[in-house]
Structure 1
Amino acid sequence: MDFDGVEIDFEGSLEWSVEDFENYIEFLAELKGEFEKFDLEVIVDMPAIDNQMNLQVDHPYKYSRIAQLGLDGYVLMMYDYMYGKIDPVGISPEDWVERVVNFAMDEFGEEKTKLIGGIHSYAYRTEASKVVRDLEYLRFVDIQKNSKYLEAVRDSSGELSFVDQGKRYYFADSIYLQKRKDFLEELGLQQVNVWQIIGNPWFE
């Protein structure tokens, strides 16, 4: 076969019922068993959960259960933090990412070497100074066409943003990608996975 395996991405998993999660665990276990016969990998994308969220939000999704499957990789989707929060807020704040990584490492135990850090390479536009609900995703080339592009300010996480006509634009560039990759390596992750819209920046 001319491919290495599959990466499973189910969205909305924090809203699942207990039955949904148990069915998901069974599905992944069966998939791993079948793919092993052909020496193919199974990697799974996971929602970003930190210790605070794990205690406060009632959901059946448990990192420790996923870790027991012995898959080939576990991607922490550490972006889209801004939903439901008051602008300005980043796509992937550094302090939140650190909490997620630390919690995941504790939960995964010996499997933590297979954790993969998810990095975003996209942009979005939202109403400035309001609760972030409705988003429009953009490409980096679209951002560059805006006259305010050169006025963008970089925050402590490396993300860039500017405001134009009541809209805030957030975006990532190659400097951000490299900074985030280095940060994840400092936290102990050995691999990264980039969610990229075609035409967006890559590493420096």
Structure 2
Amino acid sequence: MKLKLLTLFAFIFSSCATLRPPFEYQPKIIMAWVVKADTTSFLSLQRNSALISIASPTWFSIDSAGNIISNVDSNLLNFAIQNDIPLMPLIVNQGFRTDVAESLLSEPSVRERIADSILKLVLDGNYVGINLDFEGPFVSVRDGYTKFVELVCAKLHNYGKIVSVDVVSKTEEKFTGWAGVYDYAELGEVVDYFVIMGYDYSGRLDPPGPVAPKWWVEETIKFAISSGVKPKKIILGIPFYGRWWKGNEQGRGIYHPELRRVIAKYNLKKKWDGKAKAPYFKFRDENGVENIIYFEDERSLSEKISLVNKYNLAGIAIWRLDGEPDEFWKVIEVKLKPKEFLSN
């Protein structure tokens, strides 16, 4: 049976464009970003690979000259091949720089050249597709980005490859800032998967608050659907991280390995934000400075995953694998049943 499933999976991802996802009969997708610079990210992939539908390693970026900068992890690549894990690498505008995006997206000939380079990258690596993660306030080339994504889709779809696009969350139409770059309606029409980054509601420059309050995440989903994005294409990005504010300092990201050390050091007891449906810590350190840490636990994760089922979305994308609690995966397995992937 396993061999039959693998054969079917290989056929689907290598066939003509008419067999591209999203599949109506497909159980929920578990997409996970894997960061090479963090060894615990790869370890998490190894431990939980049976529950992961698609891994997206953060290997590639494009500089202002249009060169693709590669940082492939051969250990992860070999592990994925040996364990039949589909890879859909992430590619970014280098440093999320506006000037890089503008240099790549302003001219049709440059967009064409970059799209051809991405196609070659996907075909040479035998990846199932590409995850486009262009970010930054490059609203001056918003239309250029839409045309670029359309071009990448057209080229990759000719080879039966998948294109997913990551978009900054918004609850209403915007034409400024990081969220203003994305034309939800046009992008949602052409891509295979539309990945809403359902996090950073409270960013590093914001006052202490939840990273991904449930009410806000739900509003971002509703806005995407109202913009014309089909629910079966939407993958909800969920955070496996928290944010830590110390005194008057900017907030910074904190992942669970460090969080566990902080909990042990200060003997912390978590509190619950009822409106956000999120846990947090509030304490004074040895210097008398007030600290606030908002993070995720299995309860807050379950709350957000319930939205995937409520709106019949395609699945979730995890930013990022990094020493998260085993309980997270138990929640995912129970609520999304990823092991049934392509079994119908």
Q: Are 1:167 and 2:288 an aligned pair? A: no
User: Would the alpha carbon gap of residues 184 and 9 (structure 1) be closer, same or farther in structure 2, given more than 3 Å must change?
Assistant: same
**Kept after mapping to 1: 8 A contact 2:231/2:314:** no
- Could you tell me how far apart the structure 2 residues matched to 1:60 and 1:31 are? 17
Instruction: Write the distance in 1 (CA, Å) between the matches of 2:169 and 2:145.
Output: 17
| TM-score, normalisation: structure 2 | 0.51
Aligned to 2:193: 73
CA deviation after TM superposition for structure 1 residue 55, in Å: 6.2
Question: Deviation digits for residues 63-116 of structure 1, max 9, x if unmatched?
Answer: 112123x211001111000135432x200111111211111101025x332011
CA RMSD of aligned residues (A): 2.4
Which position in structure 2 is the counterpart of 1:16? 138
Q: 2:221 aligns with which of 78, 92, 101?
A: 101
TM-score, structure 1 normalization: 0.82
The more displaced of 151-160 and 92-101 is: 151-160
Rounded to whole Å, the distance in 2 between the matches of 1:115 and 1:180 is: 14
The 2-side partners of 1:85 and 1:159 are apart by 17
Q: Where does 1:128-147 land on structure 2 (aligned, <5 Å)?
A: 134-146=250-262, 147=265
SS at match of 2:135: coil
Alignment check: 8 A CA contact 1:153 1:160 kept: yes
Which amino acid in the other structure matches residue 116 of structure 1? Answer: I
Is structure 2 residue 169 aligned with structure 1 residue 48?
Answer: yes
The total of aligned residue pairs comes to 193
- What is the rounded CA distance, in whole Å, between the counterparts of 1:56 and 1:94 in structure 2? 24
Residues 11 and 57 of structure 1: is their aligned pair in 2 closer, same or farther, counting only changes over 3 Å? closer
Q: Write out the 4+ residue segments of structure 1 that deviate beyond 4 Å after TM superposition.
A: 55-58
State the secondary structure of the residue aligned to 2:195. Answer: strand
Q: Percent identity?
A: 21
Instruction: Quote the Cα distance in structure 1 between the aligned partners of 2:176 and 2:156.
Output: 34
Q: In the alignment, is residue 38 of structure 1 matched against residue 154 of structure 2?
A: no
Q: Does 1:122 align with 2:241?
A: yes
Gaps of 5+ in 1: none
2:106 corresponds to which residue?
none
Alpha-carbon spacing, 1:11–1:56, altered in 2? closer, same or farther (3 Å): closer
CA gap of 1:177–1:106, structure 2 versus 1, over 3 A, is same
Looking at structure 2, the residues matched to 76 and 119 of structure 1 have their Cα atoms a distance apart, in angstroms, of 9
Cα deviation, 1:151-174, whole Å, max 9, x if unaligned, reads 111223442211232121122123
Q: Is the 8 A contact 1:121 1:200 kept in 2?
A: yes
> How far has the Cα of 1:203 moved from its partner?
2.5
Which structure carries more helix by proportion?
2
CA shift, 1:34, in A, is: 1.6
Q: Could you say which structure has the larger radius of gyration?
A: 2
The Cα shift of 1:186 comes to 1.5
Aligned to 2:329: 203
| 8 Å contact from structure 2 (residues 217, 304) kept in 1 | no
| Kept in 2: contact 1:48–1:100 (CA 8 A) | yes
1:176 aligns with 2:300: yes
Contact map agreement 1:139 1:199 (CA 8 A) in 2: yes
